[in-house]
Amino acid sequence: MRKTIHWRFTLILLLVGFMTAIQFNSMKNPEERDTRDIWAIRQDLASEKQFHSELLSEIRELDKTILTYKSLNIENTGRALTQTVDKLYRQAGVTDVEGPGIIIKVRPAAESVAFGVPITGISPDLLTRFVNELNRFKGLIFEIDGKRYTILSSIRDINGMTTVNGLNVSTPPFSMKIISPTFADSEKVYNYLVASAIHDDFYLDDLILEVGKPEMAVEIRGYPERLENQFLEELPKGE
């Protein structure tokens, strides 16, 4: 009888000890939690809402194009297709563009010149950071040192030189142009750049940004390279 009680008591102690060990381990190694503050979460939420809004805008544009094709007769279909092709060429950056925008000059810092610091080219990381800063605005058109920057463009380091589209970016000073959909958008870009912390990043590399005031007519040349078609094939007439 005593042996039975002893074994039961031992079993109970083992269960209690096992449960205590599990609880202690869970308290010592809690599950990973989101430790971001409320502002970081709000910023991520704002970014997702902006992305969602852009997708809805693109869907509306495509729906509008479909309705346009459905409402046209055979004679006007060719004209609508031509307009669509011109719009796509513009979005791809092939054509020359003129519109409201700003001109930015990248110059060596005055202190660097005064102290005789060697002037070096802008780094690919800094130039990429600058482009990413502006990508928060929709519909902008870029030109960097006379080189059209599009979705097909790349900023790389080739043999120690910063390149855009495989072409070397000049050692400062050089200019960058930005065209916005409207003059009001250009003013927003201007105000953002004037107050942006990107100036500190340039200054650390002994460079300064001179942001010109918005202008009504800024010209940007089209992408000089020919776009290659790898997947689409033109059908013979009548098919």
Higher pLDDT, 237 or 38: 38
Higher pLDDT, 237 or 211: 211
pLDDT of 28 higher than 60: no
pLDDT band at 176 (very low <50, low <70, confident <90, very high): very high
Other beta carbons within 10 angstroms of residue 45's beta carbon come to 10
The pLDDT value given to residue 188: 92
Question: Would you say domain 97-220 falls under CATH 3.20.20.110?
Answer: no
Q: Which DSSP string corresponds to 70-101?
A: HHS-HHHHHHHHHHHHHHHHHHHT-S-EEEEE
Higher pLDDT, 197 or 46: 197
φ, ψ for residue 208, nearest 5 deg? -130, 155
87 residue type, one letter:
K
The pLDDT value given to residue 76: 65
The pLDDT value given to residue 151: 75
Q: What is the mean pLDDT of the chain?
A: 77
pLDDT band at 101 (very low <50, low <70, confident <90, very high): very high
pLDDT in tens, 146-163: 888 887 788 898 888 889
**Residue ranges per structural domain of the chain:** 47-92, 97-220
Q: Give yes or no for a contact between 129 and 136, defined as CB atoms under 8 angstroms apart.
A: no
pLDDT in tens, 29-77: 555 565 666 777 777 777 677 667 767 777 877 777 777 666 666 556 6
Residue range 103-118: average pLDDT? 83
201 Cβ contact partners less than 8 Å away, ≥ 6 residues apart = 126, 129
The pLDDT value given to residue 31: 55
pLDDT band at 180 (very low <50, low <70, confident <90, very high): very high
Q: Is the pTM of this model over 0.85?
A: no
* Range in 45-49, 117-121, 179-183, 188-192 the model is least confident about: 45-49
